[in-house]
A and B are shown apart, each in its own frame.
Chain A
Amino acid sequence: MNENNINTQPAILSIENLSIAYDKDKLAVKNVSATIEKNSITAIMGPSGCGKTTLLRAINRMHELYPNISTTGIIKLSNDNIYEMSTIKLRRKIGMVFQRPNPFPTLSIYDNVVAGYKMNDIHLKRLERDEIVETSLRDVTLWDEVKDSLHKKGTFLSGGQQQRLCIARALAFKPDVILLDEPTSALDPVATAKIEDLLVDLKKQYTIVLVTHNMSQAARISDNSMFMYMGELIEYEDTKTMFTNPKDKRTEGYLTGKFG
């Protein structure tokens, strides 16, 4: 594995010899080691079934929701081993956005943004809550669109707006890292472009890890790129190098569309 151009910024996450198996022998992630830079966008690419989503979910331990999973190796978040933290604390520091927009259909836009606080038994004062809602919605450029309908259900929004609402919900905790699992795969090109612009803006304050099947998206917005194949991390480079001069034949094959 080549790491020559990575880590111009200080590292925030470091993955060390991570292997994840479903049902004992079926390794979904094989001995992956990598460090992820602070305030950057890291894209994880690879054909479907390559383990990219499992790797992403391992970073906030969402993969543990599946039964019979076994994990070896560690992931450190600023020097703390995440497998020794409580998931409650970990998931506050590492937020997540999913493939399909999933605002809570029974909650209003306002309540969706602060849903994390409610679920975590954190009782906020009204003013503080208003502040969080406004700031988070401004951060995802949704405030102006919804400020007059904060108490309507989130499901009335368009797909792109819903996805931004979900990003706002993750941001409301002010996490260190945001994980996004193919966040634009269910959206139209205009909504996709909006989310991409947003992510580039957000990396000023957050570290972003993005799983994507869309190579041009990775090329457009990511700083560093990982290419995974059959559970292995084949190549990890700064995005420019990877796209112009891939080291591994398999990376090249994938990027040129020979398989995927």
Chain B
Amino acid sequence: MNSDKILKYVLFFASFLILLISGGMLYSLIQGSMLSMHHFGWKFLISSEWNPTKGQEHYGALLFIAGTLFTSILALIIALPMAFSTSLFIGEYFRNTRMASIVSTLVDLLAGIPSIIYGLWGFYILRPFIVSIGLSAQGYGIFTAGLILAIMIIPYATSLSNTSIMMVPNELKEAAYSLGATRLEVIWNVILPNARSGIAASYILAFGRALGETLAVTMLIGNANIIPTGLFSTGNTMASVIANQFGEASGLQLSSLIEIGLLLFVITTLINAAGKFIIKKMA
């Protein structure tokens, strides 16, 4: 066998690693959840009781699912005007200028800040601020976590949006200008309709990011095992409960945490697949 063939085989077998990791991941998650699945069945998804007391053990994921969705949806809503504006700033109004490249670099930087730093900043700066303006007594809760998550996902929502805004052909914009449209009308009638799938995909991917975010949220949400009742209510998320309880858990509790991990894996994968699907259809 010659060296060319060897290299080709090496490359081919290297690709197995990806299958091994992802397949193994799914297998281990399912296998690890078995105990909990047998014990609680589908009720795991609709029960909001989380009780690790020995003898009365009962685990349900609903409150964590609710907390995860609430914070992520809130984050998306808060991020929307900022990401949308920033992508228009970079991709349309100040396109190809120095200003745009500065803003774009800064937004990239936002993506580079580690989650733990957002958490710390949120804990010591944002949380006291929320207390001081009287929104909540302790400053923990859905709103604080959602706000910090929003800042974290802005770069993800921005980058793909401004690429698709920039990809709208110039000739279409000129056609609209030649009909007397103002810039706002060109944005609304030409740029957005033609860039909408890219923009939608970017928000979906940003939402996927928010769902899996762990530490920044853990540090701010209050980690109370209740279904959040309002914007300033505390709560808990799927990622947070794993981070908080995994170290000491065993038996049924461990299996339940793994099942929550499995759920998180499935949900984020579906959301990401939806985003990628839209991007593929665009190309």
Are A and B in contact, CB atoms below 8 Å, in the complex? Answer: yes
Which residue of A is nearest B178, CB measured? A96
Given contacts A106-B193, A115-B189, contact A91 B179 (CB under 8 A): yes
Q: Give Cα A173–Cα B186 distance, bound, in whole angstroms.
A: 18
A7 CB to nearest chain B CB (Å): 27
B266 part of interface (Cβ distance < 8 Å) = no
Given contacts A62-B174, A98-B174, contact A87 B180 (CB under 8 A): yes
B200 part of interface (Cβ distance < 8 Å) = no
Q: Give Cα A121–Cα B172 distance, bound, in whole angstroms.
A: 19
B164 CB to nearest chain A CB (Å): 13
Interface residues on A, range: 20 to 34
B248 part of interface (Cβ distance < 8 Å) = no
Residues from chain B with Cβ under 8 Å of A96 in the complex: 178
B171 touches A102 (CB 8 A): yes
Q: Give Cα A107–Cα B189 distance, bound, in whole angstroms.
A: 10
Residues from chain A with Cβ under 8 Å of B189 in the complex: 104, 115, 118-119
Q: Give Cα A91–Cα B190 distance, bound, in whole angstroms.
A: 17
Question: Contact flags (1/0) for B153-178 with A, using CB distance below 8 Å?
Answer: 00000000000000001011011111
A102 touches B172 (CB 8 A): yes
Which residue of B is nearest A118, CB measured? B189
Other-chain residue from A62, A105, A121 in contact with B178 (beta carbon distance below 8 A): A62
B28 part of interface (Cβ distance < 8 Å) = no
Tell me the A99-123 residues at the B interface (CB within 8 Å). 99-100, 102-107, 115-116, 118-121
A95 touches B178 (CB 8 A): yes
Q: Give Cα A121–Cα B188 distance, bound, in whole angstroms.
A: 12
Which residue of A is nearest B169, CB measured? A102
Residues from chain A with Cβ under 8 Å of B194 in the complex: 105-106
B185 part of interface (Cβ distance < 8 Å) = yes
B31 part of interface (Cβ distance < 8 Å) = no
B171 touches A119 (CB 8 A): no
Q: Give Cα A166–Cα B176 distance, bound, in whole angstroms.
A: 11
B181 part of interface (Cβ distance < 8 Å) = yes
Residues from chain A with Cβ under 8 Å of B182 in the complex: 88
Residues from chain B with Cβ under 8 Å of A89 in the complex: 180
Tell me the A62-86 residues at the B interface (CB within 8 Å). 62, 65
A120 CB to nearest chain B CB (Å): 5
Tell me the B167-226 residues at the A interface (CB within 8 Å). 169, 171-172, 174-182, 185-186, 189-190, 193-194
Q: Give Cα A89–Cα B182 distance, bound, in whole angstroms.
A: 11
A92 part of interface (Cβ distance < 8 Å) = yes
Given contacts A104-B190, A105-B194, A106-B193, contact A116 B180 (CB under 8 A): yes
Q: Give Cα A104–Cα B171 distance, bound, in whole angstroms.
A: 10
Q: Give Cα A119–Cα B172 distance, bound, in whole angstroms.
A: 13
Interface centre among B169, B178, B185, B190 (most CB of A within 10 A): B178
B98 CB to nearest chain A CB (Å): 12
Other-chain residue from B169, B171, B180, B186 in contact with A92 (beta carbon distance below 8 A): B180
Residues from chain A with Cβ under 8 Å of B181 in the complex: 119-120
A98 touches B171 (CB 8 A): yes
Q: Give Cα A169–Cα B176 distance, bound, in whole angstroms.
A: 10
Given contacts A115-B189, A119-B189, contact A104 B179 (CB under 8 A): no
Which residue of B is nearest A116, CB measured? B179
Other-chain residue from B172, B180, B186, B193 in contact with A91 (beta carbon distance below 8 A): B180
Please give the residue numbers on chain A whose beta carbons come within 8 Å of chain B beta carbons, in ascending order: 60, 62, 65, 87-92, 95-96, 98-100, 102-107, 115-116, 118-121, 166, 169-170, 173
The list of the 3 closest CB pairs from A to B, nearest first, reads A116-B179, A96-B178, A91-B180
29 residue pairs from A and B, CB less than 8 Å apart = A60-B178, A62-B177, A88-B180, A88-B182, A90-B180, A91-B177, A91-B178, A91-B179, A92-B179, A92-B180, A95-B178, A95-B179, A96-B178, A98-B174, A102-B169, A104-B175, A104-B176, A104-B193, A105-B172, A105-B194, A106-B194, A115-B179, A118-B189, A119-B185, A120-B180, A166-B175, A169-B175, A169-B179, A170-B178
